[in-house]
Structure 1
Amino acid sequence: MKITFLGTGTSQGIPIIGSTHPVCLSTNPKDKRLRVSVLIEWDDKTFVVDCGPDFRQQMLLANPEKIDGLLFTHEHADHTAGLDDIRPFCFKQGELPIYAHQRVIEQLKIRFDYVFTTENRYPGAPTVAVNEIKNEPFTIGGKSIIPIDALHYKLQVFGFRFDKFAYLTDIKTITAAELDKLKTLDVLVINALRIKEHISHLNLDQALEIIAMLNPKRAYITHISHLLGFHDEVQQNLPENVFLAYDQLKIII
């Protein structure tokens, strides 16, 4: 399984527009972060988790020949606003399967009504095949995927386990029962927004506590804001099996 981090930043990305914060002014490419998303490949299958406003740019950089489906963690704009940019894939492949909680599907229908309408469709609109995710395993590309249910403040979000790899973003709280689904991982990806505590995201200490509890072989931090600090400085103080992810990082599992 090959994982490409398409984006590792928080909702505003890094640099933030107009910001003079030192991290936003950094010349280190690892401090420049598009909105959070990940591309997952196995066999001849390619799936993307979340489709934010940087989706077009991310696809040009990663250059997949096709994608076999989109999985959504939740409905916030930094995870969904790029849906219109799936059009080139639809023109090439036909309708694109999307997978999401029913609440997220309903939100997408409001924001992108022209994608879902069945009457007087604009011929250039993307076409999707809707698949509802519930908190139970489902199959894509011949692989069983285990949803991980968590809360982003008070909003339900899904993470996903693909065999020995799990991807969690925008979580703040998670139950013991859901954490049990994350044992014996080779790689865990989890969000850590900043050093200071936040109402709807894990901070670094909280993410490290979960990593220590689950004890994956490797863990990667994503959904990072400029307030976490400079990439290289933060990395120096992390446990030996924990890494800050960065845009276009590729790992093999």
Structure 2
Amino acid sequence: MSQSPPPKPAKKNIVSRDIRGKLLFLGTGTSMGVPVVGCGCGVCQSTNPKNKRTRCSVIFGLPEGNLLIDTPPDLRTQLLANGIGIIHAVAFTHSHADHLFGLDDIRLFQFYIGHAVPIYCEPNVDAKIRKVYDYAFSTEVQTHVGSRPALDMKLIGLDPFEVLGATVTPIRLQHGPRFEVLGFRVGNVAYCTDVNHIPDESWGKLEGLDVLVLDALRPEPHPTHFSLEEAVEVAKKVGAKQTYFTHIACKLEHEQTNASLPDGMELAYDGLELPLT
């Protein structure tokens, strides 16, 4: 259900970098980010900016605007760091805190686009958003316009949907044995974070990729994420022209890890831009 629309956009310039035709990585880190608070490991103490990883999120620069995937707690900092001044729509992979708890940071964009921000998500994510951000759906009169985000909730499943002039194809993924999440494909680019199993029915949606973005948490196995070795094997099976790994913990140093990976595979990093094909 849509909220009451906010005022029309103000008569002022909106400063934002044009990323149409690109995939922009806002964050590539785990739920704790890298550096981890209090951690003295070599990666957390590294001065290499590619070892600085905020919580996972990307933007698809589509023909009619910016589609944000997930709203991590670092969202405001990420948008400022990358020169992104406007978000036109949001799609969610799932409702875990590191992918959801920056949602209030989109409150500004209802004024820039002149209407409630479209939110594409599965019913279980919709329910979590309505619980965690209950004030956004309150029937009480606002103290002032803009005191809460205006959200236009749009339920999705596994069927492709149209947004901002492009077709987005959801991909069913498993994030642990009893938790389902979504990946998203636009053109020949697929984004699959927070996954440790790809169901049989999803492999067909990963055929013919130019770019695969895939979860690769750490060297050791994990109950809800692919390890680096597991992710490499999945990437070989998918056969994308190029694979980038994301949701990376501090146990993977950027340069050393890349030197050990097969051709056509490497770690993503915050601020990386790729062409959409």
Quickly name the TM-score band, shorter chain normalised: over 0.9
1:6-33 deviation line (CA, Å, top 9, x unaligned): 0000000000111112211111100010
The answer for the alignment partner of 1:99 in structure 2 is 120
The answer for the alignment partner of 1:156 in structure 2 is 180
Q: Distance in 2 between matches of 1:104 and 1:143?
A: 22
The answer for the alignment partner of 2:198 in structure 1 is 174
Whichever residue aligns with residue 113 of structure 1, its letter is: D
Matched, 1:133 2:156: yes
Q: Distance in 2 between matches of 1:16 and 1:134?
A: 34
Secondary structure of the structure 2 residue equivalent to 1:233: helix
The answer for the alignment partner of 2:93 in structure 1 is 73
Q: Distance in 1 between matches of 2:212 and 2:155?
A: 24
Q: Distance in 2 between matches of 1:9 and 1:68?
A: 24
1:112-135 deviation line (CA, Å, top 9, x unaligned): 111122333353111010011111
RMSD: 1.1
- Return the match for 1:243 from 262, 266, 271: 266
Aligned residues: 252
Do 1:114 and 1:122's aligned partners in 2 also have CA atoms closer than 8 Å? no
**CA drift at 1:92:** 2.3
What does residue range 105-124 of structure 1 map to in structure 2 within 5 Å?
A: 105-123=126-144, 124=147
Do 1:34 and 1:54's aligned partners in 2 also have CA atoms closer than 8 Å? yes
The answer for the alignment partner of 1:195 in structure 2 is 219
**CA drift at 1:185:** 0.4
Whichever residue aligns with residue 75 of structure 1, its letter is: S
Secondary structure of the structure 1 residue equivalent to 2:80: helix
Do 1:191 and 1:221's aligned partners in 2 also have CA atoms closer than 8 Å? yes
Matched, 1:234 2:257: yes
Matched, 1:41 2:65: no
Identity in percent: 39
Task: For structure 2, list consecutive stretches of 5 or more residues without a partner in the other structure.
Answer: 1-20
Greater radius of gyration (CA): 2
Q: Distance in 2 between matches of 1:159 and 1:188?
A: 11
Secondary structure of the structure 2 residue equivalent to 1:67: coil
Secondary structure of the structure 2 residue equivalent to 1:226: coil
The answer for the alignment partner of 1:185 in structure 2 is 209
Do 2:26 and 2:271's aligned partners in 1 also have CA atoms closer than 8 Å? yes
TM-score (norm 1): 0.96
Do 2:62 and 2:165's aligned partners in 1 also have CA atoms closer than 8 Å? no
Q: Distance in 1 between matches of 2:236 and 2:206?
A: 12
1:159-186 deviation line (CA, Å, top 9, x unaligned): 0011101000000111121011100001
Q: Distance in 2 between matches of 1:155 and 1:116?
A: 26
Do 1:185 and 1:216's aligned partners in 2 also have CA atoms closer than 8 Å? yes
Q: Distance in 2 between matches of 1:88 and 1:201?
A: 33
Q: Which moved more, 1:87-96 or 1:6-15?
A: 87-96
Q: Distance in 1 between matches of 2:103 and 2:143?
A: 16
**CA drift at 1:210:** 1.1
Do 2:220 and 2:227's aligned partners in 1 also have CA atoms closer than 8 Å? yes
Q: Distance in 2 between matches of 1:116 and 1:62?
A: 30
Task: For structure 1, list consecutive stretches of 5 or more residues without a partner in the other structure.
Answer: none
1:105-156 deviation line (CA, Å, top 9, x unaligned): 1001111111122333353111010011111111111222111001111211
Q: Which moved more, 1:6-15 or 1:83-92?
A: 83-92
- Return structure 1 stretches of 4+ with deviation > 3 angstroms: none
